[in-house]
Structure 1
C-alpha cells in the first residue's frame, strides 16, 4: 500500500521551510489564520516558491466568512489564479457554494478550467454542504482532485465516521484529505479508521502562526 502523505497549512515563509525540512510532502499556502485562511499575496508566494521545492498549493479565497461570493469576488478569484499560476505553483485550493448550501458547479468548473493543468483541492467549504455524498459526486464532475474535510465536525476525530464513509464512497476517484484539528496524537487513529492517503495539518501547537518542526516530524512519523 502506498505510503500516506502529509500537507502542512502554512501562513508564512518560516512554516513552509519547516514543513519542507521536516518531511512534509506538500505546503498549502494561505494567510489570515484567524479567518480560516485567505489568498496569500504574490510577494509571499514568490518568496515561498523560491525557497521550497516540495509541492506548493495556494489557497484562493478573497475573504473569511461564508463561501458564497459576489461577482466582484469571483472575478478576483479568477485573476488570482492566473497571476499565481505564473509563479510555478503546483495547485490551487478553493471552494464556492450556493446560498442553499449546495456546490456552485458553474463557478467551480470555471476556476478548475482556469487552473488547468494544475490540480485543484476543494477546501473545507465542503463541511458546510447539506448532502455530503451527493456533493462528493458533484466535485468529481467539476474536476477536483482532492477534498479537504473534517467530516462535518470541527475536529477530524469527531468526524471520523463520516471521513471513513467518504473515503469508501470516493473509491479512489478523488482524494479525501482529513484536516481540522489533526495532530500527531490522533493521526494514527485517523489513518487506521479512514484509510485516507493524504492528511492536512497546520502543525501549530500554540496560539501563534508558525508550524512546529517537531510536530511536523511526529505527524510524518505516524504515516
Structure 2
C-alpha cells in the first residue's frame, strides 16, 4: 500500500489520522450526509496542526452532483479558498443530468485547482457506464479516482475496481473507498491490486454535555434520497410572513 487516506470532518480527526500513520486526509464537513465543503476556519486550523497531505472536498451541498450555475461558482470560489489556506489537493465531482461526467466543468475546476492534486470522487459511482467515465477522466488527465466500484461498499465493488485499475494503468490512481476496515482491506487489496485506499476509520464516542434533551434532534428526521433536495421556498416564506402579520 502506497497511501492510506482518511476521510475526516474535524481537526481533531486529522490529528488522529496522522498519529495513526495515514499519509493523507480528505477534509469534509457534514459526513453524515456524504460530505460537503468544510469552512475556511476548519481548513486553516487543520493545516496548522498536521504535516501529512491535506485534500479538501469541494461539494456545495448534499445529494446528487448536477449543479446549478450558482453552485458551480461556489465550487470555484471554494477551490481558491482551499489553495490559499494551504491545501495539497481538492476532491471534486460533477455530472450532467444523464449521469455522465461533465467534462467541460471538470476541466475548468482542474485548471483552477492547479498546481494542487485533484481527485474525482464517488460521483463516478453514479455514472451509467464506468468504463466510459474512466476513459473521460483519463482524457482529462485526472490524477486520482475515488470509487466503491459502483456498489454500496468497496468490498462489494472490488471486481469492477480491479477492472478499473487495469484500464487506468499508470495514468491514474484508482483508490477504493466505502466500508473499508481492518477486517477487509487485505482482501480488497488482493482482489483489486490498488495502491491507495480511502476510509473514515471512525469510532463512536460520547460527548461531554452534562445537560441533555435526548428527544430533540437538530437534523431532519426524514432521510432524503441522493436525488432529493431541501431548499428555501419563496412562496412558503411569503405565506409565513402573511400569516404572522394577519
- Under a length normalisation based on structure 1, what TM-score does the superposition of the two structures give? 0.90
Q: Distance in 1 between matches of 2:203 and 2:96?
A: 34
SS state at 1:121 partner: strand
The structure with the larger Rg is 2
What's 1:105 paired with? 103
Q: Distance in 1 between matches of 2:65 and 2:141?
A: 19
SS state at 2:167 partner: helix
Q: CA deviation at 1:207?
A: 7.9
**1:82 and 2:80 aligned:** yes
The Cα RMSD (Å) is 1.3
What's 1:216 paired with? none
What's 1:192 paired with? 190
Q: Contact 1:112 / 1:143 at 8 angstroms: preserved in 2? A: no
Q: Contact 1:30 / 1:38 at 8 angstroms: preserved in 2? A: yes
Shift of the 53–5 alpha-carbon distance from structure 1 to 2, 3 Å rule, reads same
Shift of the 207–140 alpha-carbon distance from structure 1 to 2, 3 Å rule, reads farther
What's 2:52 paired with? 54
Shift of the 86–175 alpha-carbon distance from structure 1 to 2, 3 Å rule, reads same
Q: Distance in 2 between matches of 1:176 and 1:200?
A: 10
Q: Contact 1:4 / 1:196 at 8 angstroms: preserved in 2? A: no
Shift of the 119–153 alpha-carbon distance from structure 1 to 2, 3 Å rule, reads same
What's 1:145 paired with? 143
Q: Distance in 2 between matches of 1:172 and 1:36?
A: 29
Gaps of 5+ in 1: 210-223
Question: Structure 1 segments of 4 or more deviating over 6 A?
Answer: none
**1:117 and 2:115 aligned:** yes
Q: Contact 1:109 / 1:143 at 8 angstroms: preserved in 2? A: no
Q: Contact 1:6 / 1:200 at 8 angstroms: preserved in 2? A: yes
**1:63 and 2:66 aligned:** no
**1:206 and 2:192 aligned:** no
SS state at 2:138 partner: helix
Q: Contact 1:30 / 1:37 at 8 angstroms: preserved in 2? A: yes
Is the deviation greater in 92-101 or in 141-150? 141-150
What's 2:20 paired with? 22
SS state at 1:15 partner: helix
SS state at 2:85 partner: coil
The structure with higher relative contact order (CA 8 Å, sep 6+) is 1
After superposition, give the CA deviation of every residue in 1:49-78 in whole Å (9 maximum; x if it has no partner): 000110000000000000000000000000
